[in-house]
Structure 1
Amino acid sequence: MRELVYYVAVSLDGFIAAPDHTFDAFPVTGDHMDTIMKDYTDALPGPALAALGLTAPLTRFDTVLMGWNTYAVGLAQGLDNPYPHLRQYVFSRTQTAVPAAVTTSAEDPAAVVRELKAGPDGADIWLCGGGQLASALAGEIDRLVLKVNPVTFGAGIPLFAGHGYTPRNAELANSKRFDSGVVINDYRLN
C-alpha cells in the first residue's frame, strides 16, 4: 500500500521556515545534496531537474501534496507548475487559480489522502508542506523524513502547526549524518 511521507527540511528547533516564511538559511550545498539528488530525485522541482540534467524516476514519489502557502512560494518565482513530473494537489479553501496540471482541493485533506492510498498501486505520496496541512494530515502520515539542518530560527512555521494535534510515537528507521551538518532521519510513525 502507498504511504504518506512527510519529507521536509527542518531547523534544529523544529521550524520548516523562518518567521518571515523564508527557508534560504537551509544549506543547499554540501555532501548531503548528493544523497538528496540520488535518493529523493522525485522531490526536486522541475526547473532543478532540468538544470541538473536529471529525470525523476518516480520510484519514491508519484504524487505531491502542498498547502497553498507552500505552493505560493513557487508562484512568487513565476513557477506555477513546480513538479510537472508528479501529480500535484494544492489544498486551499479560498484559492483556485492554478494551471490544469495542478489539482486544487477544498476537501478534507485526510479524506483525499485515504482515497489516494486506496487507489491503484504506485509510488508513495509526498507531503511537501506546510505545517498546517501536516497537522491536518497528522493521523495519515506513515513516515516522517526530516532533513535536520544545522540552523535555528527561534520562531517561524513549525513542522506541525495548528490545533488538535494528537501526539504519535515514532521509530527511527534510518539516520544518515553528513559533513555539512545536515542529518536525514527517517521515522516510521506508529
Structure 2
Amino acid sequence: MRKLVYYVATTLDGFIAGPDGGDPSGNEFFPITDDVLRFIVDNHPETLPAPARQALGVDGPGAVFDTVVEGRSSYEIGLAAGLDDAYPHLRHLVVSETLDEVPSAAIELVRADPCGRVRELKREDGLDIWLVGGGTLAHALLPEIDRLILKVNPAVIGNGIPLFAGPFTPTLFTPVDETALPGGVRVLTYDRR
C-alpha cells in the first residue's frame, strides 16, 4: 500500500516557516545550499517545483512520489510566485475548506474529509504520496501519516508555522534513517510505530 509521507524542512524548534507563513526557502534559517539541492535532486527530484526542475534539467517521473497533497496556504505560496500548479509532473491535490476553485484544471480541490481522501489514494496503485504542508493540514492528516522525512536545519527561530499545528495528539514514530549533509542539515526519517 502507498504511504503518506510528510517530507518537509524544519527548524530545530519545529517550525516549517516564519511567522508570516511565506515561502521559507532561501531564508537564512532555510538556506538552499548546494548540498541540500544535491540531496533533493538525488533522492526526491519530484519535490522540486516545475521551474526549478527545468532550470536544473530534471525530467521524468517521480522517484518516490507520484502525488502531492498540500493545504491552501502552501498552495497560495506557489500562486503568489505565478504558478497555478507548481507540480504539474505530479497528481496534485489542494485541501481547503475556503477555496471554491483553483485556477488549474489539473488540480483536485479537496473541500472536506482530507483523511478519507488520503485513505482512498493510499488504496490506489502508484508511488507514495507527498504531504508538502502546511502544519494545520499535517495535524489533520496525522492519523494517516506513515513516514516523516524531516530536513532539520540548524536554526532556532522561536515562532512561526509549526510542523504540526493542532491540539495535543501524542503519536509515536521510530527513527529509521539519518543523513548528515555537509552544511549542517540533518535529514531524519521516521516511520509510524
SS of equivalent to 2:145: coil
CA distance in 2, matches of 1:169, 1:137: 14
Q: Which runs of 4+ in 1 moved over 3 A?
A: none
The question of 1:103 aligning with 2:97 is answered no
User: What one-letter code is carried by the residue in structure 2 that aligns with 1:108?
Assistant: D
| 1:104-160 CA distance string (max 9 Å, x none) | 1112110000000112x2100000000000000001000000000112210010000
Aligned to 2:41: 37
Q: Is the 8 A contact 1:30 1:179 kept in 2?
A: no
Q: SS at the partner of 1:139?
A: helix
Deviation at 1:31, TM superposition (A): 1.6
Check conservation: 1:90, 1:103, Cα contact below 8 A: yes
Q: How many residues were matched structurally?
A: 188
Does residue 21 of structure 1 match 2:21?
A: yes
Instruction: Tell me how far apart the structure 2 counterparts of residues 154 and 103 of structure 1 sit (CA, whole Å).
Output: 35
Alpha carbons 1:41, 1:57 under 8 Å: kept: no
SS class of match (2:189): strand
**What is residue 80 of structure 2 aligned with on the other side?**
76
2:93 match: secondary structure: strand
The alignment's C-alpha RMSD in Å is 1.1
- 1:115 paired to 2:120: yes
Mapped to 2, the partners of 1:31 and 1:110 lie a distance apart of 34
129, 132, 135: which one pairs with 2:136?
Answer: 132
Once the two structures are superposed, what CA deviation does each residue of 1:136-189 show, in whole Å capped at 9, x if it has no partner? 0001000000000112210010000023x4211111110000121100001001
Give deviations 1:59-116, integer Å, cap 9, x for gaps: 3000000000000001111111100000100011111331101111112110000000
Instruction: Point out the more displaced range, 92-101 or 110-119.
Output: 92-101
Identity %: 51
| Structure 2 counterparts to residues 45-64 of structure 1, below 5 A | 45-64=49-68
Amino acid aligned to 1:16: I
Q: Given the alignment of the two structures, is residue 186 of structure 1 paired with residue 186 of structure 2, yes or no?
A: no
Letter of the 1:48 counterpart: A
Instruction: Give distance in 1, aligned partners of 2:141 and 2:101.
Output: 23
**CA distance in 2 between partners of 1:77 and 1:46 (Å):** 12
Instruction: Give the TM-score normalised by structure 2.
Output: 0.94
Q: TM-score, normalised by structure 1?
A: 0.95
Residue in 2 aligned with 1:142? 146
Q: Which amino acid aligns with 2:10?
A: V
Does 1:154 pair with 2:158? yes
| One-letter identity of the residue aligned with 1:36 | I
1:173 aligned partner, one-letter code: V
Q: 2:39 is paired with a residue of what secondary structure?
A: helix
Distance apart, 1:56 and its partner CA:
3.9
